[in-house]
Chain A
Amino acid sequence: MKTLSIDQINRHDKRFCISYPLDDTALSASIQKVGIIQPVILLDTFPFLAVTGFKRLEIAHHLGLKEIPYITIDITEQKALLFAIHDNIQRGLNLVEKAHAIERMLHIGFSSAEISDTLNILGMNHHEKVLKTLIALASAEDFLKHFTVSHNLSLKNVGYLLRFEVNERTSIIQLLSSIHITESTVREILEILTLLKLKHGTLPLEDLRPAGIQDLLGRLKVMAYPVRTSLHEELQNLRKASGLPPNIDIKVDPFFEKEYIDIGIRAKNQEDIYQALEKLHRLTDDGILGRILDLTKGKLR
Chain B
Amino acid sequence: MTAYSGEYLISQKVSFVEARGNIVRDCPGTRNHICCGYKTIDLVEGCVLSCSYCILKSYINSPDIKITRDYDYIFSQLDEVIDHEKTHVLRFGTGELSDSLALDRRFDLNRPLVTFFGEKKKALLELKSKWAYVDHLREYLNPYTIISFSVAPQNIIDREEKRTSPLYKRLKAAKRAQDAGCFVGLHFDPIIIYPGFEKDYEYLIHDIGRILDLERIIWISLGLLRFPPRLFDEFMEKGRKNLLFGEFIRGEDGKYRYIKSERIRVYSMLYTQLKSKSRDLFVYFCMERSDVWKSVTGISLDDNESLVRLFDTRIHDLYGGIL
The finding on whether chains A and B are genuine partners in a shared complex, rather than unrelated, reads: yes
Interface residues of A (CB under 8 A from B): 129, 159, 163, 191, 194-195, 198-199, 224-228, 231, 255-259, 296-300
In chain B, residues 285-318, which have Cβ atoms closer than 8 Å to a Cβ of chain A?
Answer: 289-291, 295
Contact, CB under 8 Å: A228 / B236: no
Contact of A298 among B241, B250, B259 (CB under 8 A): B259
Given contacts A194-B236, A228-B247, A256-B259, 17 further A-B contacts (CB under 8 A): A191-B236, A198-B241, A198-B245, A199-B244, A227-B247, A227-B261, A255-B249, A256-B249, A256-B261, A257-B289, A258-B32, A296-B291, A297-B260, A297-B264, A298-B260, A298-B263, A300-B261
Chain B residue numbers with a CB within 8 Å of A255 are 249-251, 259
User: Interface digits, B244-270 against A, CB 8 Å rule (1 contact, 0 not)?
Assistant: 110101111000000111111000000
Q: How far is the CB of B228 from chain A (nearest CB, A)?
A: 16
Given contacts A228-B259, A256-B260, contact A163 B237 (CB under 8 A): yes
> Contact: B291 with A297, CB < 8 Å?
yes
Q: Pick the contact of A227 from B241, B245, B251, B262 — CB < 8 Å?
A: B262
Residue of A nearest to B248 (CB): A225
- Contact at A257–B247, with CB atoms within 8 Å? no
Q: Given that A259-B289, A297-B261 are contacting pairs, would A225 and B251 also be in contact in the complex, using a CB cutoff of 8 Å?
A: no
A199 touching B241, Cβ below 8 Å: yes
Q: If the complex has contacts A198-B244, A199-B244, are A257 and B249 also in contact, measured as CB distance less than 8 A? A: yes
B contact set with A: CB distance below 8 Å: 32, 236-237, 239-241, 244-245, 247, 249-252, 259-264, 289-291, 295
Cα of A129 to Cα of B236 in the assembled complex, Å: 13
Task: Report chain B residues within 8 Å CB of A298.
Answer: 259-264
Tell me the bound Cα distance from A8 to B251 in angstroms.
65
Q: Chain B residues with Cβ under 8 A from A231's Cβ?
A: 261
| B252 close to A257 (CB less than 8 A) | yes
Interface CB pairs A-B, < 8 A, 12 = A163-B237, A195-B236, A199-B241, A255-B249, A255-B251, A256-B249, A256-B259, A257-B249, A257-B251, A257-B252, A259-B291, A296-B260
Question: Contacts of A296 on B, CB cut-off 8 Å?
Answer: 260, 291
- Set of chain A residues within 8 Å of B249, measured between Cβ atoms: 228, 255-257
Q: Which residues of A contact B236 (CB under 8 A)?
A: 163, 191, 194-195, 198
Residue ID in chain B nearest A259 by CB atoms: B291
